[in-house]
Amino acid sequence: MLFIPYEIETLSQERPWANWLMIAVCSLVSLAVLWGGISSEAAEALVLDGWSFPGLVGHVLLHADLFHLIGNMIFLWVFGNAICSNTSNWLYLIAFAVCTLIAASMHLVADGSPAIGASGAINGIVGMVLAMYPLNRVNVFWLFLVRGGSFTCPAWAIILFWFAFDVWGAVTGGEHIAYWAHIGGLLGGVGIGMLCLHHGWFQLTQLDHSSLLDIMRREKAE
C-alpha cells in the first residue's frame, strides 16, 4: 500500500523560492543523468560512496529512475514548501544542506554501501515539520492494488508511521533503500527544528498550532 501526501495545512508567510530551486535543481540534474545529458563519470562523482565531499552533498541530485525522482519531489514539494514558506529562504537552504550531511553521515556509519537520492535530506525536512507542526493536518492519498482514496491525519501520526517503517526496514535489512539515511535525516531534522525554535530563528505565528517544543515545555511545566 502506498501513502502519498499531497498537502499539509499550514500558513504561508512568504514564497518558498528556495524549495522551488531545490526541486528544480534535483529534477534537472537527475533527468540529465537518466537521459544521458551528463556523462557517467561525472555522475559517479556525485554518488554517496565514502567520505568524499562531492558524494556527501551531490547524491541528492541523483535518482535511480523517474519514479524515484517523482516520489521524492512530491514529498519535497509538500513538506519543503510548508517549512520554507514559514521560515527564511536562506535558513531553509542551510537547514537542507545540514540535513543532507546528517543523513549521508548516518548512512555511511550504519550501512556504508553506495547510495543516491534526496530521500535522506527530505526526511530531514519532514523531521522539521514534526518539530514545528506536529498537530497540523496532512492530506494523504492512499493506493492499494487498483483501489485508492484519501484521508486526513495529524502530521505526527503519519510521520511516526513512516519512521517506524524505516526502523523496521533498517533492522530487517531491506534492500535498495537507504533506511539509515532516512532515520538520520528525520532525527536530524527534528533536532534542527527544535534548536531553531528555541533560539527564535524559526518563529510560528499566533494562529499556528503548538510546536513540539511548546508541547514539551507545557508538559514539563505541569
Write out pLDDT tens, residues 27-81. Answer: 999 999 999 899 888 999 999 999 999 999 999 999 999 999 999 999 999 999 9
Is the pLDDT at 83 greater than 90? The verdict is yes
The set of cell numbers assigned to 196 is 531553531
CATH number of 2-221: 1.20.1540.10
The structural domains of the chain, with segments of one domain joined by +, span 2-221
pLDDT tens digits for range 93-103: 999 999 999 99
Handedness of CA 189, 20, 166, 175 (dihedral sign): negative
Encode pLDDT of 196-221 as tens digits.
Answer: 999 999 988 888 999 999 999 988 77
Predicted local distance difference test score (pLDDT) of residue 2? 86
Largest Cα separation within the chain, whole Å, is 60
